Each structure stands twice: as structure tokens, then as C-alpha cells.
């Protein structure tokens, strides 16, 4: 049975918010709600508006799962969901995954060959900016002196959500338009302008630091804070901003990244003993066990579902001989596959004793190796033929498959299969903070300890391998090791593109499947792909926006 907080969040996310509507076509022009209306100035509507803002990470509109906007292809608003856009732009152009279908914009992403008409460059930008616009409206409608109970806390949560959206925008686009406290959003002729990466970086960091030092956001993780903005979430965002500062603004700030990672590590989080529990249909229960998940986007099959939910890493990865009912779902999409390069990163020893899992797939000692290699079974259920590890786009029968994310119960318990997953998406978790600290130590950041970094890494490797046999020594804590270990621990969690860029491997000196448009991949492509373009639609709607370097402008 679902935890009460999970039910509460998903019910809020599914409400029909009468005071706000989802809009994609002209978000820079039209305020989302009428702030003169007195009907919204009460506690219930304030909480509903707050839930609407939270739902911007996982839902597409008020009518799920397809949403309610007719202006997207096939009336399917799945592409407008924040999580779907994030995963599409962070996974497909990397060595972690390819999308097996030829959807609009997907082939360009997988082949790292896009221009300013890229579909997902448009939809993600629209969603993030719409989320930010809602945050601005909330802060306008409910000022700090409102008589709404807990308004200070709610406002701080909204400010944190706005900063999180801008963290992803600066990471993907570097120089998006800015909507902030002083933006005259009541003026229909006003459109957001760009302020440059340096100024935006400082704006985001200053906001997060103020929330860290001066807000009443919760200091410690509890079940009551699951899926909500807390100070550990704020500190995670600061750690990530500083970790990527050299990429964003040209100045290394790894010492600050390590300091904020340490704040999260010391806030009361712990590693879940079973890695698979973090990605199952009851993964919210980690909040009652070890609290490894720092921030999750909640989903469930009844109240919080969309075609851009955790279905993107569950049903999307199942199909053919890989039966979705094995993992608690009735739906399968046959489209998301790991690359052979991701498989190769798990080059450790095979499992001892039992060599096959319950599906007949060969196992590794590393329990994070959750891949499927069976191509055909014999009539008695034994394996007749195994799959070639090399994957081909458009051919589901090539390459390995993956079942990292499931809809199963805690500890892999069986469930009645559902059409949509109950699996929450762990956007931030403690393991990432361990690896951020370790990377900063490997980069010799001031204030870090290599011994502590090795201890953090070995905690992850002991969980993965069940013993200390695969632990590393101080001399093995290299940047190449960190990049590979981040993939082994965090694959398909929306981190990889940013990691490859930070390590100088995204556009240069590293080939993977379909990079550059050929199945075997090429090492070097244009460096402009380190930043996504501003869509032609956004340039048309807002003439103040200027295109990113390397891309055509209208």
C-alpha cells in the first residue's frame, strides 16, 4: 500500500487546477492566472497552486496522461513533460542509451546532429520556462505578508523550484531568457531577455545560498519532506552548480562543490542496502529506511501519470522477449536500449555461483549490472541464443536490454501489473553526492580528502558487489575512474551528458554508438553540441532572444 505522503502528493498533482491552465504556445506573453481574482487568496487554493508548480516536473497538463494541448504532434503532450525532455536531452546523445524509434527529434539526438529546429530543444525550454512563470505568479499572488498559514515555507519551496529549473536551463542552453522577481509579467508586451551565463550563474547561486542560509526550509530528510524542496535539495543544487562552474562560466569551483556535497552527506541520508529498491514501484519507501533519495519526482498509476513519467525508463525499455509483466507493467514500448559502451563499463567479474538470473540472463558480480542478453529461449525455458551486445537503431532484437527501473514492490516483491508505473524518479540521491565529493578530491580541490573520497566510493562498490573485493585504493581514484563509476552508479538517471561535457569527452576523443550518425560512432564532432540551440519557435515568439554560438539564427 502506498505511503500516505506519496498518496497526498500524487493526489495534489492530479488536481484540475481551475485557476491555472497549461499553455505551450505563447507562455512569454500571457500571465497564467488573473491575479485580481479574490477567489485564489485562501489556504486551499494556495496549496493547490503549489502542487501545480511541483507537478511541472512530472506531468504535462491538467488532463493526463496525454495532457490537454492540441498543438503538439498526435495530441500527445508526453514530449512536453519536464522529465521526458530532460532524459531525452541527457541520455540519447551519450554512451548510455539510444532510442529505438524514429520519433521527431530523437534520431538527431542519438546521432548528435541537430540544428535550431530540434523538437526537444523547443519543448523542454517551453516547459522549464512555463514552470518558472508559474513560480513568478505564485510569488506575486502570495507575498510574504500574506495571511496564508505557512506562506513563508511555501514561498521558499517555490523559489527552490525556480532555481532548479534554471539549473537545468543553464546546463542545457547556458543563456536562456530570465523571468525573475522584478520582471513586469503583467505587461503583455514584455518578453524575457537574456543576461548571459555569468550573470545567470550568479543569480541562481545567490538565490540558492539565501535559501540555504536564511530560509525555514527543512534541514533533515523525513517522510514528510519526500518529494518536497528542502535545504539538502538546495545544497545538492549548489554542489552541482559549483561542480559545473568551469563549464558554465570558465572558473573552477570544485572546493565549493565538495563543501555543499558534504552538507548533504551529513544531513541524515544513508545508502539503501539494496540498489534495486531505489528504482522499484515502491521506491518512496527509502524515506522510511535509509533516506538515500534526496529529491524524487512522484508518479503513480492512478493520480500522477503521463507519457513522460518514469514510464520513459520502464515500459520504454521493455518489449519483445523481455516481458513487461516480469517487472510489474502491462505496457511495453520497445524503444530504449543501452549502448555497448555502457555495457563495457561493467567489465568486472561475473557472478559467483549462480551465473544466470531468473530470466536466464548472465549476471555480473556488480548488482548494478541490470541488463538482459537473451535473444531466444528453448521450449523448456532454457536459453537457446544470446544477443549480440552491439545495438542497431530500429532493430529491437540487437543489443542488450535493460531493467534497472521496474514497477515491482520493495525487495522485488510481485505486484499486479499496471499500465503506468508507480515508480518515482530519483532526480538526486546520496550516491551522486558521494561521487561529486570524490571527483572534487580527484581534482585536488581545496578542503577535500582523498581518503574520505575513497571511503565514499568504496561504500558504493561494497553495496554493488556485496563485499570489499572490488574496493579501490587511493592510487585508483583518477578522473577516468570517476567518470566510469558515475556511469555504473547513475546510468539512465539524467546525468551523463553533463558528466561527459565536464570531463571533455562529449564532443572530443570518445566514440560511441551512433555518435556522428554512424552505428559505430565517431570520436569528434562540432563543439557547438555542448550547448543546445534556442529553438526557431522561441526566436520567432521572442525577438529579444539571441541564438547560441555555432547555430543558425532566423
Question: How many angstroms separate the CA atoms of 281 and 412, rounded?
Answer: 9
163 touches 211 (CB < 8 A): yes
Decide if pLDDT at 34 tops 60.
no
What band does 349 get if pLDDT is binned at 50, 70 and 90? confident
Structure confidence by residue, pLDDT tens digits, 199-212? 999 999 999 999 99
Decide if pLDDT at 403 tops 50.
yes
61 touches 169 (CB < 8 A): no
**How remote is the C-alpha of 419 from its chain's centroid?**
22
Domain assignment of residue 9, yes or no: yes
pLDDT for 27: 45
Question: How many angstroms separate the CA atoms of 388 and 398, rounded?
Answer: 6
The mean-pLDDT minimum among 78-87, 448-457, 507-516 falls in 78-87
Query: 134 lies in which domain range?
Result: 1-217+504-554
Pairing relation of β-strands 336-338 and 401-402?
unpaired
Number of domains in the chain: 1
Question: How many angstroms separate the CA atoms of 327 and 316, rounded?
Answer: 12
194 touches 216 (CB < 8 A): no
What is the percent of the chain with per-residue pLDDT over 90, rounded to a whole number? 85
Domain assignment of residue 393, yes or no: no
Decide if pLDDT at 76 tops 60.
no
Rounded average pLDDT over 415-441: 98
Decide if pLDDT at 185 tops 70.
yes
Helix boundaries (H) for 315-425? 340-344
The mean-pLDDT minimum among 12-21, 159-168, 180-189, 455-464 falls in 12-21
Q: What is the dihedral of CA 246, 247, 250, 254, to 10 degrees?
A: -10
What band does 37 get if pLDDT is binned at 50, 70 and 90? low
Give me 390's grid cell.
552491439
Pairing relation of β-strands 383-386 and 401-402?
unpaired
Q: The domain that contains 80 carries what CATH number? A: 1.25.40.390
527 touches 354 (CB < 8 A): no
Domain assignment of residue 428, yes or no: no
CA distances from 212 to 112, 202, 231, 241 (A): 37, 15, 6, 14
Decide if pLDDT at 75 tops 60.
no
Decide if pLDDT at 1 tops 50.
no
pLDDT for 102: 86
Helix boundaries (H) for 266-318? none
Domain assignment of residue 184, yes or no: yes
Domain assignment of residue 168, yes or no: yes
Three-state SS letters, 268-305? CCCCCCCHHHHHCCCHHHHHHCCCCEEEEECCECCCEC
Three-state SS letters, 473-490? CHHHCCHHHHHHHHHHHH
Rounded average pLDDT over 164-173: 98
Decide if pLDDT at 18 tops 50.
no
What band does 375 get if pLDDT is binned at 50, 70 and 90? very high
Give me 364's grid cell.
555480473
Question: How many angstroms separate the CA atoms of 310 and 329, rounded?
Answer: 12
Task: Report the chain's mean pLDDT, rounded to a whole number.
Answer: 91
Decide if pLDDT at 169 tops 50.
yes
Structure confidence by residue, pLDDT tens digits, 294-303? 999 999 999 8
Domain assignment of residue 3, yes or no: yes
Pairing relation of β-strands 425-429 and 293-297?
antiparallel
Residue whose C-alpha is closest to residue 114's, from 105, 101, 122: 105
Prediction pTM value: 0.94
Domain assignment of residue 468, yes or no: no
What band does 60 get if pLDDT is binned at 50, 70 and 90? confident
Decide if pLDDT at 38 tops 80.
no
Decide if pLDDT at 232 tops 50.
yes
Of the two residues 384 and 12, the one the predictor is more confident about is 384
Structure confidence by residue, pLDDT tens digits, 265-312? 999 999 999 999 999 999 999 999 999 999 999 999 998 889 999 999
Beta-bridge mates of residue 425: 297
Angle between the 231-243 and 254-265 helix axes, to the nearest 10 degrees? 160
Decide if pLDDT at 7 tops 70.
no
Structure confidence by residue, pLDDT tens digits, 525-547? 999 999 999 999 999 999 999 99
Rounded average pLDDT over 459-472: 97
Residue whose C-alpha is closest to residue 59's, from 122, 115, 131: 131
Decide if pLDDT at 157 tops 80.
yes
Question: How many angstroms separate the CA atoms of 54 and 157, rounded?
Answer: 9
pLDDT for 176: 98
Strands (DSSP E) along 406-451, which ranges? 425-429
Q: Which helix (H) or strand (E) holds 185?
A: none
pLDDT for 353: 62
* Number of neighbouring beta carbons within 10 Å of residue 313: 25
CA distances from 527 to 89, 148, 171, 534 (A): 16, 49, 15, 16
pLDDT for 20: 35
Question: How many angstroms separate the CA atoms of 501 and 509, rounded?
Answer: 12
DSSP conformation letters of 462-529? HHHHSSSTT---GGG--HHHHHHHHHHHHTTSS-HHHHHHHTT-SSSS---TTGGGSTT--S---GGG
Give me 501's grid cell.
561535457
pLDDT for 32: 58
Domain assignment of residue 211, yes or no: yes
User: Using only C-alpha atoms, what is the Rg of the chain?
Assistant: 22
Amino acid at each position: 500500500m502506498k505511503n500516505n505522503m506519496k498518496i497526498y502528493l500524487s493526489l495534489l498533482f492530479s488536481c484540475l487546477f481551475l485557476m491555472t491552465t497549461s499553455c505551450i504556445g505563447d507562455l512569454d506573453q500571457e500571465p497564467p492566472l488573473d491575479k485580481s481574482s479574490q477567489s485564489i487568496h485562501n489556504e486551499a487554493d494556495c496549496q493547490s497552486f503549489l502542487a501545480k508548480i511541483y507537478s511541472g516536473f512530472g506531468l504535462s497538463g491538467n488532463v493526463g496522461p496525454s495532457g490537454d494541448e492540441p498543438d503538439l504532434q498526435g495530441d500527445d503532450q508526453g514530449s512536453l513533460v519536464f522529465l521526458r525532455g530532460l532524459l531525452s536531452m541527457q541520455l540519447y546523445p551519450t554512451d548510455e542509451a539510444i532510442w529505438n524509434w524514429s520519433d521527431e527529434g530523437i534520431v538527431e539526438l542519438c546521432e548528435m546532429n541537430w540544428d535550431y529546429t530540434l523538437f526537444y530543444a523547443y519543448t523542454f525550454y517551453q516547459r522549464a520556462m512555463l514552470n518558472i512563470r508559474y513560480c513568478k505568479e505564485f510569488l506575486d499572488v502570495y507575498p510574504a505578508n500574506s495571511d496564508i498559514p505557512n506562506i513563508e515555507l511555501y514561498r521558499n519551496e517555490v523559489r527552490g523550484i525556480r532555481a532548479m529549473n534554471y539549473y537545468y536551463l543553464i546546463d542545457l542552453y547556458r543563456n536562456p531568457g530570465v523571468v525573475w522577481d522584478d520582471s513586469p509579467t503583467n505587461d503583455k508586451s514584455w518578453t524575457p531577455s537574456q543576461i548571459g551565463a555569468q550573470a545567470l550563474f550568479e543569480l541562481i547561486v545567490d538565490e540558492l545560498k539565501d535559501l540555504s542560509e536564511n530560509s525555514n526550509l527543512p534541514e533533515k530528510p523525513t517522510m514528510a519532506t519526500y518529494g518536497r524542496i528542502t535545504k539538502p535539495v538546495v545544497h545538492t543544487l549548489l554542489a552541482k552548480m559549483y561542480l559545473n562552474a568551469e563549464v558554465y562560466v570558465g572558473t573552477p569551483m570544485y572546493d565549493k562543490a565538495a563543501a555543499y556535497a558534504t552538507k548533504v552527506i551529513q544531513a541524515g541520508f544513508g545508502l539503501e542496502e539494496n540498489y534495486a529498491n531505489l528504482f522499484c514501484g515502491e521506491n518512496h519507501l527509502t524515506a522510511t529506511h535509509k533516506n538515500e533519495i534526496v529529491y524524487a519526482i512522484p508518479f503513480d498509476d492512478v493520480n500522477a501519470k503521463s507519457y513522460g513519467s518514469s514510464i520513459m525508463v520502464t515500459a520504454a525499455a521493455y518489449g519483445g522477449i523481455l516481458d513487461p509483466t516480469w517487472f510489474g507493467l502491462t505496457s511495453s514500448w520497445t524503444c530504449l536500449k543501452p549502448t555497448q559502451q555502457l555495457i563495457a563499463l561493467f567489465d568486472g567479474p561475473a557472478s559467483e555461483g549462480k551465473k544466470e538470473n531468473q530470466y536466464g540472463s548472465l549476471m555480473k558480480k556488480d548488482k548494478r549490472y541490470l541488463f538482459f542478453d537473451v535473444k531466444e529461449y528453448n521450449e523448456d525455458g532454457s536459453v537457446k541464443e544470446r544477443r549480440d551486445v552491439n545495438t542497431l537503431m530500429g532493430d529491437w532484437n540487437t543489443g542488450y536490454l535493460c531493467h534497472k527501473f521496474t514497477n515491482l514492490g520493495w525487495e522485488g516483491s510481485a505486484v499486479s501489473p499496471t499500465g503506468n508505473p508507480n515508480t518515482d524518479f530519483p532526480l538526486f540521491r546520496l550516491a551522486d553526492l558521494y561521487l561529486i565529493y570524490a571527483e572534487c578530491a580527484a581534482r585536488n580541490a581545496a578542503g577535500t580528502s582523498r581518503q574520505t573520497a575513497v571511503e565514499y566510493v568504496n561504500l558504493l562498490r561494497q553495496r554493488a558487489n556485496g563485499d570489499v573485493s572490488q574496493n579501490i585504493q587511493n592510487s585508483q581514484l583518477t578522473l577516468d575512474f570517476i567518470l566510469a563509476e558515475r556511469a555504473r552508479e547513475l546510468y539512465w538517471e539524467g546525468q551523463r551528458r553533463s558528466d561527459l561535457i565536464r570531463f571533455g569527452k562529449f564532443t572530443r576523443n570518445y566514440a560511441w554508438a551512433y555518435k556522428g550518425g554512424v552505428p559505430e560512432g565517431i570520436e569528434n564532432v562540432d563543439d557547438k553540441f555542448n550547448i543546445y540551440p534556442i529553438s526557431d519557435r522561441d526566436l520567432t515568439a521572442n525577438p529579444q532572444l539571441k541564438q547560441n554560438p555555432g547555430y543558425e539564427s532566423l
